Chain A
Amino acid sequence: MNEEGSIERENAAPVAAEYVLGVLSAQEHRNFKARLLREPALAAEVEFWEGKLGALASEIKSVSPPDRIWSRIETALPANNAVRFLGLWQSLPFWRWAAIGSAAIAAASLAALIYVGQPPGPNPPLVAKLDVSGGQVGFVAAVDREGGGLTIVPASATDVKQRVLELWLIAPGDQPRSLGLIEPGRPIHINLPAALIQRVAPDATLAVSLEPPGGSPTGLPTGQVIASGKLTPL
């Protein structure tokens, strides 16, 4: 099987590279495009070459396009400009991205939420960086107050050993309220209970504690708090 696989790969390699380079004739180019839709292995090969050869683009001189091009693009876009915060949660790249799980990437997802075109509303989304000891980012959380959802993305690997992670909301002057269990290696989206949404406000703190399997038996954190951070409006 392996041998067959590698032979196929070798045959695929040049034609995918030829396609990416653009040396094929018009007919061959079309044929390959049709194959590309049917054969995922070819698509991976094309990605490989696009990624590697892409570096050659630095030899191409940049030329400012005339301003009218952007106007034409804008006109051709669908009319609806309503960007809903929810859109992000439904965006596949966001999840793929969040799933990478490195601190840099999680911080970047946060940056994506913060910096790119978020019109301020009456209830702007809230975000929090949950720092672990040493000031490292442990988790990044974002709350969509309109939709009542909270997403928390682990920014670094946490070794939990036989324990589970429980997420807590601590509003000023209030006792910790459990928001449920989260996973050490995976972003999680939580639908906030209606009773808690109003407590999810700027200056509330999110905290993650280590608890026995099944979560805290008392309804309050019983184990070590490994990360915490304040919610702030976008």
Chain B
Amino acid sequence: MPRAATHSPVAMEQEAASTQLAAAIVRIAAGDRNALKLVYRDTAAKLFGVCLRILHDQGEAEDVLQDVYLAVWRRAAMFDPRRASPASWLVAIARNRSIDRLRSGAFVRRMQSIDGALDIASNAPDALEQVETAEERQRLIRCLDELEPQDAGAIRAAFLDGTTYEMLADQLKIPLGTMKSRIRRSLIKLRACLEK
């Protein structure tokens, strides 16, 4: 969807990167492997980071990452550039696959095993970094700031780490029911703020 006109060079660059990525996904839908390679080249480092952060396991994250791009290949025809930015579409696939893997109970997450992997800095070009518009991020942060700090922190942790209600309740030493109703209330508030 065309956004309100922003003319700063950064915004234009983001727009261009996002457009290129959307163009490539459109080509993937037409069966173009080179387009998949292009999307992989530009986004794999970010999506691998997403998988690693949730799974805390190098091998599992590698398997899921492979699965993510095969899902991109199969589901490109469902990508609707009018409704989703390519960045959030790709991140959603990576998160969904990782969370499914985590919830499948097929392996037990070890919280420590990831530290080494996280230290490997990435020099790969990172299209997703460019296409996340600062504007969207700032708005989200502003809306999160309106919530109780502990709730905002829990929502962040859930998104980034794939933390469940049970784990959050455990970590924060709050009864599960209380945890749920607090987060639900915050999510309703957050939605109202984001819609403004």
Contacts and interface: CB of A to CB of B under 8 A. Distances in A.
Contacts of B89: 50
A56 B191 CA distance: 15
Interface residues of A, number: 64
B117 to A, nearest CB: 6
Contacts, number: 229
A105 B34 contact: no
A92 B137 contact: no
Chain A at the B interface: SS class: helix
B182 to A, nearest CB: 11
A48 B180 CA distance: 21
B124 interface: yes
Interface stretch (A17-25, A192-200, A221-229): A17-25
A22 B190 CA distance: 16
Interface residues of B, number: 88
Interface in A59-102: 59-66, 69-70, 72-74, 76-77, 81-84, 87-88, 90-94, 96-97, 99-100, 102
A37 B1 CA distance: 25
B140 A53 contact: yes
Interface in A27-77: 29, 47-48, 50-66, 69-70, 72-74, 76-77
Nearest to B88: A54
Contact of A10 (B165, B183, B188): B188
Contacts of A84: 31
A90 B164 CA distance: 41
Given A54-B132, A60-B50, 11 more contacts: A21-B158, A22-B99, A51-B85, A52-B140, A59-B160, A60-B46, A62-B46, A73-B66, A97-B81, A105-B2, A117-B27
Interface of A: 10, 13-14, 17-18, 20-26, 29, 47-48, 50-66, 69-70, 72-74, 76-77, 81-84, 87-88, 90-94, 96-97, 99-100, 102, 104-105, 108-109, 111-112, 115-117
22 contacts: A17-B187, A18-B187, A20-B92, A22-B95, A23-B168, A25-B166, A29-B99, A50-B89, A50-B91, A56-B137, A62-B49, A65-B65, A73-B40, A73-B69, A93-B25, A96-B81, A96-B82, A100-B82, A104-B2, A105-B2, A111-B20, A117-B33
